[in-house]
Every structure is written in structure tokens, then in C-alpha cells.
Amino acid sequence: MVGYAFMGAAHSQAWRTAGRFFDLPLAPDMAVLCGRDAAAAQAAATKLGWRSVETDWKQLLTRDDVQLVDICTPGNTHAEIAIAALDAGKHVLCEKPLANTVGEARAMVAAAERARARGVRSMVAFNYRRTPAVALAQRLVEQGRIGTVRHVRAVYLQDWIVDPEFPLVWRLQKDKAGSGALGDIGAHIVDMAQFVIGDRLAGVSALTETFIKERPIAGASSGLSASASEQRGAVTVDDAALFVGRFTGGALANFEATRFATGRKNALRLEVNGSAGSLAFDFERMNELEFFDGADDPDTAGFRRILVTEPTHPYAGAWWPPGHGLGYEHTFTHEIADLVRDLGAGTDPSPSFADGLQVQLVLDAVSRSAEGGSSWQSIEEVA
């Protein structure tokens, strides 16, 4: 695993736990954690359960005890590491967004295709797909339970940088993060929506905004919190990104990602309205899915609050009895379980790098539209 901050901790918990609850064809061996600061990396490895440490990720590619590289670093490093790893015959799990630019993402897809021909697999880590409620939503749409999709409404609302004195962490720097709310959290709702309705965005018209233009240079950070220093620097990414758009099948899209929704901590919400029913989800209540079944008798029709903890629900049967909910980290555990099963079966994991590129193309269209006076931007289909 490369990187050991917020995402690294989440992935480590998933690697440690997946085999305890799911029957896996392979037993993960947490061989090596990689970080530039040897002491810090060693401390993290001990804490997180990795049995050795490297300070140069290139070393991972030479080790026989590494079959898979899990990339948990900022987006500007994804392409180089992933391509090298795939070319070295290592499976790759790469955090989202796949890359900081469409060009990088295309190169990564090409590398993934090359690798695939040799049985080397790749996956991009859109963990929210693995929320049981989201997977159930996808299943219900696929079963036709809501009919033809008319509307997809998605927001991802956070508030961790509302304070203008919050420091300029790497997530606020374009050279490291690629974009701001757009790529960090907007990417999640784009992927989730495309996954749930089984269609892709065809075009968008967008706005972005940076409310706070300058911030204190960051000191140490962990997770989404950080300390500040005296100097100031320019915020080079968006604080919020909004767009309207169309899916290829005719559904209308309304998307918004922001880090300025005071009081909303992690409100990833999706609502899908179809000709025969509707679905609604909010990650702040991640164990619930709301479902309106248009086939219900009007006298008793209403949005059903489904507790997605039944044995027949996606992933839920591996865990606790009904009503005993899961948490954020379980989305990663499910991701690892699915990945290891695919590796064992020799099948392609999903979402693929191509799926990651498809999301990247949407993000790129959003950026271009926002820079071009909200003009309409079509989105090509990844072959």
C-alpha cells in the first residue's frame, strides 16, 4: 500500500477485516506499507498491521511478496505509480479520482488494457458503490422497479473548510488534487449515479466557485483536519461545483458538490425518480434506502424506509442481524472482498479504470463548462 493517511487507514482496516466476514479465495497478506518518511511509515505500518516498510514506491514493484499495489496517495501521483505497477505485473487498486487529468486517465486505461491481456487486474476505488443501500438501489433499478429513469438528483455536501482560517491542505491545491470539491466528492456522486442507473452522463452545463481565495499555508494534517501557519497561499481549486446535464437515456441530471454547506458533514445524497418509482439515499443515514413503489395502492403508497441490513441485501448477510447497522469503513471492506474474489476467479473487478476515465471525462466537461461561461459540454463515451 502506498500512502497511509485517511485513505490508508481505511484501506488497511478493509484488508485486515474482509476475510473475517467474507469467504475469500485468497488470504490477503499485508506485506508492505510505503511512505517517504521512514519513521512515520514504520509507525503507521505497526499501527495499521503491515509487516514491512518501504520509502520508495518503486521498490514495491521489485518485491516478489507484492502481488497488488494499493494506491492511497494524492491524485497527482496516481498515473505514474499505477502504470508502472501494472507494467510490472502487479494488480492495482487505485483511489479515486483515477487521475488529475483526462490525459493521465487515458494512459492509465491503456496500461490497464495492456496488463489485462496478461491477467493483471485493476480497479478504481469508488467505495460508496459498496454501501449496501447503494448496491440495493442499483439492483432495484436494474430489476425495473422504478421504470424509466427521469431524474437523477445528487449532492455531496460537506463543510470542513467553511472557516476561512482553515489551512491550505493538499486537497486545496490544484497541482496535487487536480480539482477541489469537484474531483474529491463530485467524482463520487458521478460514479454512484452512473452505477445506480446504469447509464452515463452525455453532457453538462456547469458552474464552479472558490469562495475563499487565500488561506493559511498548512502545517500538519490528518484526515480532513489540519493545523495552520502564518503565511497565506492561493486556493487553486473549486470550493463548490454544480451542474445540470443529461444522461444518454434521457434522464435529467442535477449535481452539486460543495465543501461550504455549513452543518452538512458528509451528506452524500442521491435521488432517482423513474416512471414507476423513486429511490432516495443519504450517506448520513447510510443503512437506509428510501423507495417509493408506484405499483403500491395509492391509499398506502409512500416512501419506504428500508433498513438495508437484511440477509438478502447486498453485503449485509455477511455481518450482523437485521437492524444492526454498518459504518463508513465497511464500504472499503466490501470493496476489498469483491476485489479479492475477482482476483481469485480471474475476472475483471469493477469499477474498472475505464469507468474511472468515464468519470474523469465528466469532471473535465464540468471544468470546461464552468470556465466557458456554463456552455454545454458533451461527454464522449469510453470505448
Residues in region 46-105 near a second copy by CB under 8 A: 47-49
Q: How many residues bind a second copy (CB under 8 A)?
A: 100
Is the separation of the CB atoms in 308 and 132 below 8 Å? yes
Strand partners of residue 233: 215
Binding segment (CB under 8 A) for a second copy, from list 71-79, 86-94, 107-115, 253-261: 253-261
How long is the chain? 383
Separation CA 307–CA 324 (nearest Å): 9
CB of 31 or CB of 88, closer to a second copy: 31
Three-state secondary structure call for residue 61: helix
CB of 11 or CB of 91, closer to a second copy: 11
Binding segment (CB under 8 A) for a second copy, from list 72-80, 110-118, 189-197, 239-247: 239-247
User: Does 37 engage in binding with a second copy (CB under 8 A)?
Assistant: no
Three-state secondary structure call for residue 281: strand
Chain residues 294-313 in contact with a second copy, contact rule CB under 8 A:
294, 296, 298-307, 309-313
Annotate 117-169 with DSSP letters as a single string. TTT--EEEE-GGGGSHHHHHHHHHHHTTTT-SEEEEEEEEE--TT-STTS-B-
CA separation, residue 219 to residues 40, 77, 225, 334 (Å): 16, 21, 10, 34
Among residues 5, 13, 43, 233, which is the contact residue for a second copy, using CB under 8 A? Answer: 13
Residue type, 207: L
Q: Which of 67, 79, 80, 47 is nearest to 1 (CA)?
A: 67
CB of 62 or CB of 276, closer to a second copy: 276
What's the closest the beta carbon of residue 143 comes to a second copy, in angstroms?
Answer: 10
CB of 80 or CB of 329, closer to a second copy: 329
What's the closest the beta carbon of residue 145 comes to a second copy, in angstroms?
Answer: 7
Separation CA 108–CA 99 (nearest Å): 8
User: Does 170 engage in binding with a second copy (CB under 8 A)?
Assistant: no
Phi then psi for residue 190, to 5 deg, are -65, -50
User: Does 368 engage in binding with a second copy (CB under 8 A)?
Assistant: no
Separation CA 121–CA 80 (nearest Å): 17
Chain residues 105-164 in contact with a second copy, contact rule CB under 8 A:
136, 140, 145-146, 150-151, 153, 155, 157-160, 162
CB of 33 or CB of 242, closer to a second copy: 242
Provide the 10 A C-beta neighbour count for residue 42. Answer: 16
CB of 79 or CB of 135, closer to a second copy: 135
CB of 90 or CB of 330, closer to a second copy: 330
Chain residues 199-218 in contact with a second copy, contact rule CB under 8 A:
205-207, 209, 211
Among residues 35, 277, 349, 356, which is the contact residue for a second copy, using CB under 8 A? Answer: 277
User: Does 232 engage in binding with a second copy (CB under 8 A)?
Assistant: no
User: Does 347 engage in binding with a second copy (CB under 8 A)?
Assistant: no
Among residues 223, 229, 234, 345, which is the contact residue for a second copy, using CB under 8 A? Answer: 223
Separation CA 18–CA 1 (nearest Å): 16
Chain residues 310-329 in contact with a second copy, contact rule CB under 8 A:
310-313, 319-329
Contacts of 334 (CB under 8 A, 6+ apart): 18, 127, 130, 132, 315
